[in-house]
Amino acid sequence: MSEVEFFAQMKRFEAAKVKAEQGSTREGRSSEYAHLLDGPELPAPPRLPQDFRDGQLSLGVRLKGEPHVILSDRTIVTAEKFGATDYGLGSGPLSQEGIKQFLDGERVNGAELITRLEAFVTRYLSLPHDAGLLVAVWIVGTYLYQVFEYFPYLVLRSPEKRCGKTRLLDVISLLAFNAHQPTASPTEAQIFREPREDGGVQLYDELEGMTHDRERWSAITSVFNVGFHRGAVVSRYKKSGGNQVKERFETYVPRVIASISSLDATLEDRALMLFLQRKSPTVRLERFSPRHLARVAQAYRDACAGFALGCAATIEACYRQGEFPGLASLDDDRAVNLWEPLIAIASVADAEGRDSSLTDRLIGLAERIGKDRAALASEEPITAMLEVLRECLGDSEEIRLPTLDLIGKVKERLGWESLSPKSLSTRLQPLGLRPSHWREGKKTVRGYELNKKIVDELVSRYVSCTDPLGSGTRGTSDTDRVTASD
């Protein structure tokens, strides 16, 4: 076949192909697959611990040893009839007495519930300026978090130990939806398996201790980074019959994370941050004893579940309309996403009493925390380092600080776990601060000689007059900070 004949044949083939495709398009073939394409798509199976669909909230409970579901329409069905799989549900949030009260039509006043919860929390923690309200509304929100596209984590930060982080975790563990006990060293599997088992709130204490193991920390934060978003999943492979089978795990549950030092910026970006300080010696709080509070805590859990089941549809409608003018001052879209669920809950609770006090207070707190969030996000490494140097100097005009001591303070304050003597020197040299050495007895010590006048001069050059360093804080005024007690 000559070259001319070859190209002519190829041209005929192309023309035939185009004609066939056009004929197929004209005739249409969708009718052949109508049994697959017509009708609504099958929804995903419902989640047993907590779900929201068709305007109804459902909460999983175990009755007579078998998993059941309580629905907003005040009915109970078996998990099998509901179409949900039991991956290890516990007893659920409601007591039998609480279930009876809900089925008999008892209604829970949302405003009263939130006010009582705030009072309960602040009996054991000193949380001024409406932080107690935030905790109370957040706890209520854990009973219907499946209503929302996003639900914020709470991150508890403090400059040192004994500032109330553990106490607050313990209080939340008593009251929140299917809450787990606080743990300081979670595994990756624990973090992504627990949500489908009981959908319960996860509580983590002293999490800064895990950042040393980079591989493990990276695996854990990869789950945290998606777990505030409804429907987010992680995939893992397991052996089945000699093959590797992919298994998907939903990671969406409320979480509270406590840490002295800062954590990953991506994690903190998904959270509402509370800065805790050690309480004043003059503040007197009640003794916290979970053992003696078991009955009271169960009554609060019953009330939270009853309010959630009764008002979920109204709260969802309020949330869906997405119009919260009070949040307009927040320039960060992510921050708005985090606050909207809580504002929706407070708005519906206020509507019952024809009041707006809870919503107004919560929006005011959102504005203050938003300013703190913006200050932290804009904080440059130089600003952060100067803050540490000023803290080291305190009221002294001049000090000598060994290199390892300064590294320890920077790690504790800023969470820069990879900081080494060399990288510290690299950060300080552009500021004109170079390491030196001196004698202490027979020992030569390498470190930094810090002078208050020099550090203050650096602050005046690198820190604007509106920077939080001007008041000696990290973007949070004393009146906006949370004060607590262990």
Using the 3D structure, point to which of 377, 402, 418 is the last residue of a domain: 377
**184-188, 211-215, 365-369: least confident range:** 211-215
Query: In the numeric block, which tokens belong to residue 332?
Result: 């960060």
The residue ranking higher by pLDDT, 137 or 248, is 137
pTM over 0.95: no
Q: Evaluate whether 233 touches 214 at the Cβ level (below 8 Å).
A: no
In a domain, 261, yes or no: yes
Q: Do 363 and 296 belong to one domain?
A: yes
Please name the amino acid found at residue 46: P
In a domain, 51, yes or no: no
Q: Evaluate whether 121 touches 229 at the Cβ level (below 8 Å).
A: no
Q: What is the pLDDT of residue 210?
A: 80
Q: What is the pLDDT of residue 13?
A: 63
In a domain, 471, yes or no: yes
| Average pLDDT of span 109-120 | 96
Using the 3D structure, point to which of 335, 356, 377 is the last residue of a domain: 377
Q: Do 478 and 372 belong to one domain?
A: no
SS3 of 124, please? helix
Using the 3D structure, point to which of 344, 377, 410 is the last residue of a domain: 377
User: What does the mean pLDDT of the chain come to?
Assistant: 85
List, for residues 386-397, the tens digit of each pLDDT value: 888 988 998 899
Q: What is the pLDDT of residue 204?
A: 94
The residue ranking higher by pLDDT, 4 or 100, is 100
Q: Do 148 and 287 belong to one domain?
A: yes
H or E element, residue 258: strand 255-259
In a domain, 290, yes or no: yes
- Residue 467: pLDDT band with limits 50, 70, 90: very low
The domain that holds 143 is classified in CATH as 3.40.50
CA–CA separation, 402 vs 313, rounded Å? 60
Q: Do 233 and 371 belong to one domain?
A: yes
| Average pLDDT of span 468-481 | 37
Q: What is the pLDDT of residue 23?
A: 53
From its phi and psi, is residue 166 left (phi > 0), alpha (psi between -120 and 50) or beta? alpha
Structural domain harbouring 273: 110-377
Q: Do 114 and 210 belong to one domain?
A: yes
Q: What is the pLDDT of residue 277?
A: 73
- pLDDT for 483 beyond 80: no
List, for residues 420-430, the tens digit of each pLDDT value: 888 788 788 87
Q: Do 245 and 290 belong to one domain?
A: yes
Q: What is the pLDDT of residue 469?
A: 43
In a domain, 425, yes or no: yes
- Of all residues in the chain, what percent carry a pLDDT higher than 70? 86
In a domain, 428, yes or no: yes
- Of all residues in the chain, what percent carry a pLDDT higher than 90? 50
The residue ranking higher by pLDDT, 24 or 478, is 24
In a domain, 53, yes or no: no
The number of folded domains in the chain is 3
- pLDDT for 486 beyond 60: no
Q: Do 421 and 309 belong to one domain?
A: no
Q: Do 341 and 414 belong to one domain?
A: no
Q: Do 370 and 388 belong to one domain?
A: no
Q: Which parts of 150-264 fold into alpha helices (H)?
A: 165-175, 188-198, 214-224
Q: What is the pLDDT of residue 347?
A: 95
Q: What is the pLDDT of residue 322?
A: 77
CA–CA separation, 191 vs 251, rounded Å? 8
- pLDDT for 468 beyond 70: no
Q: Do 321 and 459 belong to one domain?
A: no
Interior angle at CA 161, CA 157 and CA 167, nearest 5: 75
Q: What is the pLDDT of residue 1?
A: 58
From its phi and psi, is residue 434 left (phi > 0), alpha (psi between -120 and 50) or beta? beta
- Residue 20: pLDDT band with limits 50, 70, 90: low
Q: Do 309 and 397 belong to one domain?
A: no
Interior angle at CA 373, CA 371 and CA 379, nearest 5: 100
- Residue 327: pLDDT band with limits 50, 70, 90: confident
Q: What is the pLDDT of residue 10?
A: 65
Interior angle at CA 267, CA 263 and CA 273, nearest 5: 75
The domain that holds 427 is classified in CATH as 1.10.10
List, for residues 359-378, the tens digit of each pLDDT value: 999 999 998 887 766 655 55
- pLDDT for 339 beyond 60: yes
The residue ranking higher by pLDDT, 298 or 457, is 298
DSSP assignment letter at 397 = S
CA–CA separation, 77 vs 218, rounded Å? 41
- pLDDT for 215 beyond 80: yes
The residue with tokens 């009554």 is 299
Q: What is the pLDDT of residue 157?
A: 83
- pLDDT for 478 beyond 50: no
- Residue 406: pLDDT band with limits 50, 70, 90: very high
Q: What is the pLDDT of residue 293?
A: 94
DSSP assignment letter at 228 = T
| Average pLDDT of span 218-231 | 91
Q: What is the pLDDT of residue 427?
A: 80
Q: Do 341 and 450 belong to one domain?
A: no
In a domain, 159, yes or no: yes
